Amino acid sequence: MRIDVVSIFPEYLAALDLSLIGKARRENLLDLNVHDLRDYTHDRHRTVDDTPYGGGAGMVMKPEPWAAALGRIAVESPVATATGEKPILIVPSPAGAVFDQAMAYELAEAQHLAFACGRYEGIDERVIEHASEAYDVRPLSIGDYVLNGGEVAVLAMVEAIGRLIPGVIGNPESLVEESHSDGLLEYPVYTKPASWEGREVPEVLLSGNHAKIARFRRGKQLERTAARRPDLILQLDPETLNRHDRDALWHSGFAVHEGKIIPRSELAWG
Ligand code: 6GU
């Protein structure tokens, strides 16, 4: 996969030299290129921002340097434009749709991703419209809070997407049981010693009974998700829940009623 990132703080992206993503780059599984937006300016001060039309606080990123940078990246894209395909341009923004694991899986299939890191109050909206001619543009947020710029969001998204590229993670089976892969949070994990600071590892995990262990872990996933992310429980397909699952959900305050999952408090009695 090819990834291009445009930023006025290219040093922020140095973290992508480390760990699994750094290794993927060295092994040519990931061709990651970071560009300094100021290299696409022509004035002595390398200006990237200006005052907003209509007034208001802060500054807005000027269109010209963005058009030059994104134009160059589109022209050099490995995506075959002859077939009508377009590279994907992700514009990190607290005003975007929320990036999730399903999206990470989808984006991990792409041949070419570009990221446009805005700062200040954002990028002139016409850049986004203009870029749609050459790119499939996706404004994306990493959650409901505000960062000063897109760089930290790009670090999060590139790590989430990059680790799903075949060959990047040594043991792909570790992807199967992690949080969000089946719509639930991960079960708790333990290692030696079996007794530590007066706290014991749950006995079933020492039993060697694999069916019982699987049931225990699934129960913990449901219990934890119900307590921490009840919104995810309501999104489960009740058809995928067996008797043990329904029992665990009941004890965590949810019922399967007339083919739907509802909080037990909404059950009407009598
Ligand atoms: Cl992607 N960018 C910024 N600036 N703030 C955010 C965000 C992105 N996601 C959540 N907050």
CA of 93 to the centre of ligand 1 (A): 5
What is the per-residue pLDDT for 82?
A: 80
- pLDDT tens sequence across 34-48: 999 999 999 999 999
What is the per-residue pLDDT for 210?
A: 98
What is the per-residue pLDDT for 163?
A: 95
Interacting residues of 118 by C-beta distance below 8 A, sequence separation 6+: 61, 91, 92, 93, 149, 150
Q: Regarding predicted confidence, which is higher, 269 or 123?
A: 123
Interacting residues of 10 by C-beta distance below 8 A, sequence separation 6+: 34, 35, 36
Q: How confident is the model at residue 265 (pLDDT cuts 50, 70, 90)?
A: very high
CA of 97 to the centre of ligand 1 (A): 10
Among 180, 50, 193, 175, smallest CA distance to 122 is for: 50
Mean pLDDT confidence for 123-146 = 98
Residue 139 CB–ligand 1 contact under 6 Å: no
For residue 24, is pLDDT > 60? Answer: yes
pTM above 0.85, yes or no: yes
Residue 94 CB–ligand 1 contact under 6 Å: yes
For residue 270, is pLDDT > 80? Answer: no
What is the per-residue pLDDT for 269?
A: 75
Among 21-25, 181-185, 197-201, 264-268, name the most confident range: 197-201
CA of 44 to the centre of ligand 1 (A): 30
**Ligand 1 pocket: which of 9, 60, 93 to mutate (most atoms within 8 A of CB):** 93
What is the per-residue pLDDT for 90?
A: 98
What is the per-residue pLDDT for 172?
A: 84
